Amino acid sequence: MLGQPLYPDPLTVAEEWHADGRGVAIATVIETWGSAPRPGGSHLVIDSQGNFHGSVSGGCVEGAVIVEAAEVITSGTARILEFGVADETAWRVGLSCGGRIRIYVERLG
């Protein structure tokens, strides 16, 4: 991605958290349709206590991603999440602006 970096950068934070002995998950926007708020490649990092840094949707679905991330940290199995306005979950954690995104959540290490 070109453009202004997010300080402190989420991936820098992820490395620090891991060095701190915390379990860490990295969520990444892998595909977007329509007016998704954050482009492909954007990261949200989450630790085992539910602390998070960065953004995959500018605040729309972060809550749901954090819940899934906790399970990914425990299981170690990566998963793909999809959010949009067309499905049930959208009513709870939908993208207010109407786009659709897919997010890859993986454990660090």
In whole angstroms, what is the distance from residue 29 CA to residue 56 CA?
6
Q: How far is the CB of 10 from another protein (least distance, A)?
A: 11
Neighbours of 55 (CB within 10 A): 19
Tell me, rounded to whole angstroms, the distance of Cα 70 from its chain centroid: 12
100 near 85, Cβ under 8 Å? Answer: yes
Which DSSP category does 104 fall into?
A: E
Binding another protein (rule: CB under 8 A), the pick from 8, 35, 49, 80 is 80
Query: Rule CB under 8 A: which of 23-52 touch another protein?
Result: 26, 28, 30-31, 39-41
User: In whole angstroms, how close is the CB of 91 to another protein at the nearest point?
Assistant: 27
For position 12 contacting another protein by CB under 8 A, the verdict is yes
Q: By CB under 8 A, name the binding residues for another protein.
A: 1-5, 9, 11-12, 14-15, 18, 26, 28, 30-31, 39-41, 78, 80, 104, 106-109
